[in-house]
Amino acid sequence: MSVKSEYHIKVEGFEGPMDLLLHLIQRLEIDIHDIPVAEITDQYMEYIHTMNELELDIASEYLVMAATLLAMKSSTLLPEEPVDPEEFESEEDPREELMERLKEYRKFKYAAGQLKDREAEDNEVYSRPPVSIEEGAGDDQQATVFDMIGALQRMFNKTASLSPKMETGVKRDEMPIQLTMDHILQKIQKFPSGITFEKLFSARTRTEMVTTFLALLELVKDKQVSCRQDEHFEDLYIFKQGDNHGRE
């Protein structure tokens, strides 16, 4: 099986460029009305670069949003010129338009989430025994594919700083993904309370790290494992699907 992934950036409840923007805004802990265009654009492009390197199937909407953000960033960096008041009133600020789109999309996402939760309650699905406070469990949240890509980016940066001569290119077809998937499942089996995202990556070369990541995505897609994160920037934990998510 080729290292190239057929994994689409579309997973349950998280499936497009608007989701990625909301994810970045939430990570920065800023108000949606105070979007730092330059910073958001840089981070967005970093995600796109990583997804391209992973050869993930990126929908065209991501690239359209990238072009929009780059245009907005360029306009914010240009020196301001005197504008006729009448022309100014009739000219729409693209940042305002994006902000409104994000606000509407966030409302839609919230409403969709509420409906899904209600359906789950009615059908008595997705239930699990309550975890006691003594077990130290918090309100775990299902990690998104963008949380996982962000964690991989941090690992790339960390490994590069520790080993500047580490290969930067990614050679394809060196490691079968199915074999790596089996290895991940065997490793997770030893940690019923979850293993951290980073501990899955015993590999030191970029190729091996990418292969491990793609294999993990396939396991998530096939619902053989789940990935959870308590808070932004905290460790991601990987579990075999159906295992107790309490921490040891």
State the pLDDT at residue 5: 45
Handedness of CA 42, 160, 8, 109 (dihedral sign): negative
To the nearest 10°, report the CA torsion of 243, 140, 238, 24: 160
Residue 147: how many CB atoms within 10 A of its CB?
Answer: 21
State the pLDDT at residue 136: 33
Please state the domain extents for the chain.
Answer: 1-127, 138-248
**Triad 72, 74, 70: Cα angle to 5°:** 55
CA distance 14 to 10: 6
C-beta of residue 247 within 8 angstroms of C-beta of residue 136 = yes
Strand partners, 141: 229
pTM equals 0.65
State the pLDDT at residue 130: 40
Strands lying side by side in the sheet with 225-229: 141-142, 225-229, 236-240, 195-196
Q: Which fold has domain 138-248?
A: Arc Repressor Mutant, subunit A (1.10.10)
Average pLDDT, consecutive stretches of 10 residues, N- to C-terminus, the chain (248 residues):
44 65 84 84 90 79 88 77 54 74 83 68 49 36 85 83 53 72 93 89 79 91 89 83 58
At residue 128, φ and ψ (nearest 5 deg) are -150, 155
- H or E element in which residue 141 lies: strand 141-142
State the pLDDT at residue 133: 27
